[in-house]
Amino acid sequence: MDSDNTLQLLIIDESSNDAESITNILRSIGLAVRPTRVEDDEDLETALTEKNWDLIITADKLTYIDAYKALEILQKSERDIPLIIAANGTENITVGAALKAGACDLVHKDEDPEHLQYVVQRELRARDDRRKIRQYNKASRESEKRCRSLLDSSRDAITYVHEGMHIYANPVYMEMFGYDDPDEIEGMPIMDMVSPDDHEAFKKFLRQFTKNESEMKGDIEVSGLRTDGNKFSAVMEFTPASVDGESCTQIIIRTASDKELQNQLNILSQQDLLTGIYNRQHFMEVLESTISKVATESSHSALLYIDIDDFAAVKQNVGLASSDLVLSDIAKVISDLVEAPDIVARFSDHSFTLLINETSSNSGVEKYANTIRQTIEDHISEVGGNSVTVTCSIGISPIGENTSNTHEIISRADLACSIAKENGGNSIHLHNPVADEQAGKERNAGWIDAINNALTDDNFFLAFQPIVSLHGDTCENYEVLLRMHDVDNNQVLPEQFLPAAEQAELMPQIDRWVITHAMQRLASVQAEGGAQTKFFIKLAGASLTDNGLLPWISEQLKEQRLSGDSLIFELDESSAVMYLAQAKNFINGVKQLHCQVVLDHFGSGLNSIKNLKHLDANYLKIDGSLISNLASDDQNQETVQSIIQTAHSMGKLTIAEFVQDANSLALLWQFGVNYIQGHFLQEPSTSLDYDFSSEDDDE
């Protein structure tokens, strides 16, 4: 359908009354229908060339055209448009004949209009699925091309083998083994690269690796054999892969010292520093792969969302430092109960997530969760001379082959945990799709009430995080971040209430609240001598459709006596592409006000660089998923470096968000990124107190 969710419907019928009847039947189920009627084959052929249709409904027999002719014309056009035959009482065609001819279905709209409604909904879903598959296939082909390019320029020795034979090797791999021409190595057995002394052990490893199809991953240390007969110590890392759509095995060759260093970096990048268990980033990666595995193998897993009850009271009673010790204790209590391949991670401030990889029944998972709940309740933490006990609420969400993505499974488990808390806490709750959906609607309704109250009663407040130049910019740049106070005056993060705000279409009002209060704060700062302070303000995609936003911003700048060059608006890349025309107009408009624009989460899309032809942003903020594990991910390093080089060649500045460690900072400085942002510098604060003078130029 169109981006405005309008159904472009082509009706083949001589009767305008029949066409109107079809339109009304579909509108009665909430479809926004834009119908067009044609009566003969010439009009049909013309219509197919002039517009992208979502659906065709044809009578079975008309004066100038029948259903068979319509299907023939549609098939010749090679357009993927569902066609449904609406029988007009002539009984000229049977259901079997209709399906055999290529129709999606045959319905009797006058006798059973509900049948037509269900068929239309089914076929629109099926058509959307086909379009997504084509997009995924295209993306997969483009990804393979990019991967081949990255492999050729990689600093690691990489090869791909199929049934033990080389099908690709990058230049570093060939140089490592002494080959000059790629044709020399193609089709050569991988065994020829290993010293004869290690052949037996290598064969055994290959047999085990190939046999263990469910977890095809492993490494082996062997002596590599060069063409001149010299040997060298090598660690071969095996992982499943595909080349040109065919399954194969990727092998990365590292020296023993490289392997040890890589392992240390991987551990650091996966670890939560406070508790020592896995961090959220690593958990989400494992969860995503588990969902894919469950979908293909029809196995079952489960996610437990574990949240400490009333942790705010613990902080108040023992203080922040001691409450951190309590969290560390609870993390150890949980991890002691977990056995591989299950994993536990610290998901947020006082919540943990546990992934159970293989489950046989929901009752078994509930028993496991109850053991965790009871063990936490029985544990006593001795901190600062105090004995502290806590309880927890646990939400359980099964993971089956119909689970679509990580966001869905996390949302279900979080909702189940909230229901456990609402039941008094210190309890568990298994997600119930029917009952919990209603509870979720009620929770969203509660958030919507809280948001509306925050808009009217100023229960929102702003936090600020510095954006620091690595190359001499003396401006004091801050990103403006939104927070909310709950009824107990605790801080509520936006990821908790913004989904409900988006669903209720409240984002434009929230964005205006943020802009108003950010401008007031900035005007106050500049009046006190902070003339070089600049604010970066995020805008939701929905705000781009607000035609009154640009003139309103202009009026606000005048009212606060602010220069436009002290404001930089951030647009999420995917939202800007979704509302491309509106985004282009907004960018052009704010630039006339002398404001600047950032494309946020840049690099997360398939055609990020191409999008810059339409979106003339001043800054590119590199997607945090490319930065968070930068020091340990060579592919991310290649991607980030490429983005920075391309941006600079186009005269655009770059910002790296989510900078968490010194190693990532060092790499970003080497790559030439202009600005950095993240907890490594400073966590968001209500104060504008970062010391920008401590950053030396070009260091």
Rounded distance between C-alpha atoms, residue 630 and residue 482, angstroms: 27
The pLDDT, as a whole number, for residue 252 is 86
Q: Average pLDDT in the 364-379 region?
A: 94
- Domains belonging to the chain, first-starting first, are 6-134 (3.40.50.2300), 154-254 (3.30.450.20), 267-431 (3.30.70.270), 446-690 (3.20.20.450)
- Greater pLDDT, 349 or 479: 479
Full 3-state SS string of 353-391: EEEECCCCCHHHHHHHHHHHHHHHHHCCEEECCEEECCC
Per-residue pLDDT band at 55 (split at 50, 70, 90): very high
Tokens linked to 359 = 């489950």
Residue 543 pLDDT greater than 90, yes or no = yes
Q: Burial of 122 by CB count in 10 Å (0-12 exposed, 13-18 middle, 19+ buried)?
A: middle
Phi and psi at 148, nearest 5°, equal: -60, -40
Q: Give how far the C-alpha of residue 213 lies from the chain's centroid of Cα atoms, to the nearest Å.
A: 27
Give 478-521 pLDDT, tens digit per residue.
999 999 988 777 788 887 788 788 878 899 999 999 999 999 99
Cα maximum dimension of the chain:
93
DSSP strand pairing (619-622 vs 653-656): parallel
d(CA 272, CA 281): 10
Name which residue leads in pLDDT, 332 or 3. Answer: 332
- CB distance 597 to 632 below 8 Å: no
Which residues are within 8 A (CB) of 96 and not within 5 positions of it... i.e. 6 or more apart? none
Task: Report which of residues 629 and 27 the model is more confident about.
Answer: 27
Q: What is the pLDDT of residue 450?
A: 86
User: What average pLDDT score do residues 558-584 get?
Assistant: 91
User: Counting every residue, how long is the chain?
Assistant: 699
pTM, two decimals, is 0.48
Mean pLDDT to the nearest integer, 225-230:
90
Q: How confident is the model at residue 294 (pLDDT cuts 50, 70, 90)?
A: confident
35 versus 267: the higher-pLDDT residue is 35
pLDDT at position 150 over 70: no
What pLDDT shows up at residue 3?
A: 47
Give the CA distances from residue 462 to residues 401, 465, 600, in Å, rounded to whole numbers and listed in that order: 41, 10, 19
What six digits make up the tokens of 223?
Answer: 């002596």
Q: Report CA 572 to chain centroid distance, whole Å.
A: 13
Cα–Cα distance for residue pair 674/660, rounded to 1 Å: 17
Residue at 124: amino acid letter? L
Residue 698 is predicted with a pLDDT of: 43
pLDDT given at position 262: 55
Counting other chains too, the contacts that 690-693 makes at CB distance below 8 Å and 24 or more residues apart are 690/466, 690/468, 690/476, 690/478, 692/466, 692/468, 692/474, 692/476
Q: Calculate mean pLDDT across residues 629-641.
A: 82
What does the mean pLDDT of the chain come to?
85
Q: How many CB atoms lie within 10 A of CB 517?
A: 16
pLDDT score of 488: 74
Q: What percent of the chain has pLDDT over 70?
A: 89
Q: How many helices (H) and strands (E) does the chain have?
A: 24, 26
pLDDT for the residue 256: 57
pLDDT at 548: 92
Tens of pLDDT, residues 396-446: 998 887 776 777 788 888 888 988 988 889 999 998 876 666 666 666 777
* Under 8 Å between Cβ of 161 and 248: yes
Mean pLDDT is lowest, of 251-260, 405-414, 503-512, 583-592, for: 251-260
pLDDT for position 696: 45
